[in-house]
Amino acid sequence: MSDNLDRRLALDTALTTRQAASSHRVPTWFSVTAALLTSAGLALLGASDLVGHGSGRAILGASGLTLLLIQIALFAGLSFHWRRNGVIPDPAQGATVRQRWKWLWLTLAAVAGYATIWAVTGRTGWALVYAGVALGATAGYGRLARRNR
Q: 1-45 pLDDT, tens per residue?
A: 455 658 888 888 878 777 766 655 667 777 788 888 988 998 999
Determine the pLDDT at residue 73: 93
Model confidence pTM above 0.75: no
What pLDDT does residue 22 have? Answer: 60
Sign of CA dihedral 139, 141, 142, 144: positive
Residue 77: CB atoms within 10 Å? 10
pLDDT band at 92 (very low <50, low <70, confident <90, very high): low
Q: What is the mean pLDDT of residues 71-84?
A: 81
Cα separations in angstroms, 127 against 39, 43, 44, 97, 140: 12, 9, 12, 30, 20
d(CA 58, CA 53): 8
